Structure 1
Amino acid sequence: MCEAAKKIYFIRIALISAVFTILFLKAEAQISDTLSNIYEEGWIEKMNGIIAADISFNNSYETFRVETPSNKTILYPNTPNNLRLKLHYEFISLGVQFAPDFLPGNGDNDSKGETTAFQLDAALVFKNWFSNITYSKVQGYYLKNTDDYINWTKGDAFIQFPDLNYEGVSISSGYIHNSKFSLRSLTTQTERQLKSAGSFMPVFNFEYYRINDKSNSVNTQKSKNIEFHIGPGYAHTFVLKEKIYASIGMLASIGYLNTKLTTRTEGGNFVTNQNNLLLRADCKIGMGYNSSKFYTGVFTTLSDTWFKQENTTARNTETNVFYHIFFGIRFNAPNLFKKKGKG
């Protein structure tokens, strides 16, 4: 199939997906709150007036890939493991993430250079709607495929880019079709799923991010990127004796990426704009223990993003596998917080 035919094919898929999602949401909006409350009875345990706090570890990080007909560049940050702290209260969740050197795998600055990484995120999870916003900042990358450029053997230092910066904001939002299914039991930890249930969840994602090499005023690049995608998703939680659970979630989406690339040269800045159609697929599986006071779990995410690269700094297109391990406790909120909220 030629490139023009591919684009027409993908655009058709995008239009069909968008129309289907809009019609579905319109139909679901007509379901009354009374019916939703009936669905929840016996399936979900609410924890109003309870604060959940957890600590978790993951290896989720931003990587980038640049390809030309003659070579490729694969950039990784030196942050293989992250530490995340989160607080959850009813429908709201707040978190902070960083990558301390004391975690196993971190701190190999001589070989891979120094990386500083920081992330803030907030989530709102209501009965049928959820939204999440994340701010991330990373400085310092190394060339993963250094051996493509120099005579390199294992143990040697990688080519490093200490002044390469990433900064971005991402927003996601979606709709939970089945009121028997508790997304909070998997995310904000302010509910417990008592019986097995699943739900269709259409999801929309938007992201704005900048990549900037500040090492020199010439022969360097910076890019501004706008990315969004939409698609159908599904998640299911299998519950055993109300406390032990396993979960699986899948999302397939189609979207658009615009990149404004600035190349700094001695003769001035050279600016190009590129537009790419992208496809994305995510699969998340995990299991955990969720009691009234204590919860823990481990999840694995398989993520793959594809789009036709046009010789620019861009999001990586390879398949990635990420882990997430968390441990948390619940306790009574101060009286100041104990006003009944809706959600």
Structure 2
Amino acid sequence: MGIKNPFFICFWIISSTLVAQESVQDSLQQEQYIQKFPDKITGRLFYINTYNSFEFSSRQTEETVSLTPNKQNKIGAKVSFRGLSLSYSFAPDFMAENKDNDDSRLFNIGLRGYFGNWMQNLELYSEKGFYVENDMNQVYLPRTKSFKIGGSTGYIFNQNFSFRAITNQDEKQLRSAGTFLPQLIYYYTNYKIRGTGGGGQEIDEKYHSVDIAISPGYYYNWVPTINLLLSAGGSAGIGVNFSDGSDSESLTSMLYDLNFRGAINYDFSDFYAGAQYSYLILNHNTDRSTYTEDNIPYFQAFIGYRFDAPKKVLDISDDVNEKIDSIKN
């Protein structure tokens, strides 16, 4: 024992030193790729166009019917601080596409957070007023509604890749980097189709749907110059869908998802501007004779600024982080 103890102590000291050096090296390496703004609040104003639409295809007749909300252009604001972000948008009447918003609604709110390498996204869509369209005609149903809530949980494998530089701008990508990014995607959707059809018949149908999928993907941030960022990536996955309609039996079917994302940012000092686009597609069966394509296109153009966070906000954030660390330990 007298020999083993000194050996163990030396081994422990050497191992701890190597781990500490590796941690410092990893931190220094990450600083070469990502500039962080831990003491700044990132705010932006944006224009946004997004909605949730559906396309139903009959397996028997090959007829396709689309259910598209009364589209609206929106403006809004977003605030991010230390990995958490909150956004809100609304549709002003002065925009051209919003002139026919009477008796219709398109509400969307999103929340995104980052916890180490983990990324959490939550979003909500509430829509009222839809166009039902097939090859023959188009009918507007002002009483038709839909509601969707859900999001995704993902893990960023490459610590030198910044997803925040794409979505929140509370970090800046300094050098090009890519990452494998698997995600768990989950949504709950219900829609109520109500109104008078083209032949004068009354329509009153209700559907509920739950989507769960595992979606691996890859994203790449290209930095051609120090102030310009071009980003692109996508994911494809498989999962399960649970559907239940008022006029059909409950059904469990295979779910396929596709998600594409692209972005361009110009970042100079604390000022930044850019645009991003994404498209999420969820494919599944609604019943045994109907195949459904659930679509969420998203476009945003923005301009923003990073400003120093008030000392009180920093103190509260530090206290919360200390409490979290104490619980972990």
Alpha-carbon deviation of 1:84? 3.3
Q: Is 1:306 matched with 2:295?
A: no
Distance change >3 Å, CA 133–CA 323, structure 1 → 2: closer
Alpha carbons 1:175, 1:203 under 8 Å: kept: yes
Which residue of 34, 38, 50 maps to 2:40?
A: 50
Alpha-carbon deviation of 1:276? 2.0
1:61-86 deviation per Cα after TM superposition (whole angstroms, max 9, x unaligned):
11112333343321111114333321
Alpha-carbon deviation of 1:314? 7.3
- Counterparts of 2:203 and 2:93 in 1: how far apart (Å)? 32
The 5-angstrom pairing of residues 110-259 of structure 1 reads 114-145=103-134, 148-149=136-137, 158-213=138-193, 215=195, 219-259=203-243
Alpha-carbon deviation of 1:206? 0.6
Match of 1:8 in 2: none
- Counterparts of 1:35 and 1:261 in 2: how far apart (Å)? 56
- Counterparts of 1:336 and 1:313 in 2: how far apart (Å)? 56
* Amino acid of the structure 1 residue aligned with 2:45: I
The 5-angstrom pairing of residues 24-43 of structure 1 reads 36-43=26-33
Q: In terms of Rg, which structure is larger?
A: 2
Give 3-state SS (helix, strand or coil) of 2:312's partner. helix
* Amino acid of the structure 2 residue aligned with 1:325: A
1:118-170 deviation per Cα after TM superposition (whole angstroms, max 9, x unaligned):
1222111133111011122111101233x514xxxxxxxx4111111111211
**Unpaired runs of at least 5, structure 1:** 1-31, 150-157, 264-270
- Counterparts of 1:333 and 1:297 in 2: how far apart (Å)? 23
- Counterparts of 2:294 and 2:208 in 1: how far apart (Å)? 18
% of aligned pairs identical? 26
What TM-score does the superposition give when structure 2 sets the normalisation length?
0.79
Alpha carbons 1:67, 1:311 under 8 Å: kept: no
* Amino acid of the structure 1 residue aligned with 2:235: L
Alpha-carbon deviation of 1:194? 0.9
**Unpaired runs of at least 5, structure 2:** 1-21, 197-201, 325-329
What TM-score does the superposition give when structure 1 sets the normalisation length?
0.76
Match of 2:264 in 1: 287
Bigger mean CA deviation after superposition, 161-170 or 57-66: 57-66
* Amino acid of the structure 1 residue aligned with 2:231: S
Give 3-state SS (helix, strand or coil) of 1:338's partner. helix
Distance change >3 Å, CA 101–CA 174, structure 1 → 2: same
- Counterparts of 2:237 and 2:132 in 1: how far apart (Å)? 30
Alpha carbons 2:68, 2:132 under 8 Å: kept: yes
Give 3-state SS (helix, strand or coil) of 1:37's partner. helix
Give 3-state SS (helix, strand or coil) of 2:287's partner. coil
Distance change >3 Å, CA 34–CA 276, structure 1 → 2: farther
- Structure (1/2) with the larger strand percentage: 2
Distance change >3 Å, CA 123–CA 322, structure 1 → 2: closer
Name the count of aligned residue pairs. Answer: 291
Alpha carbons 1:123, 1:130 under 8 Å: kept: yes
Alpha-carbon deviation of 1:229? 1.1
Alpha-carbon deviation of 1:307? 3.3
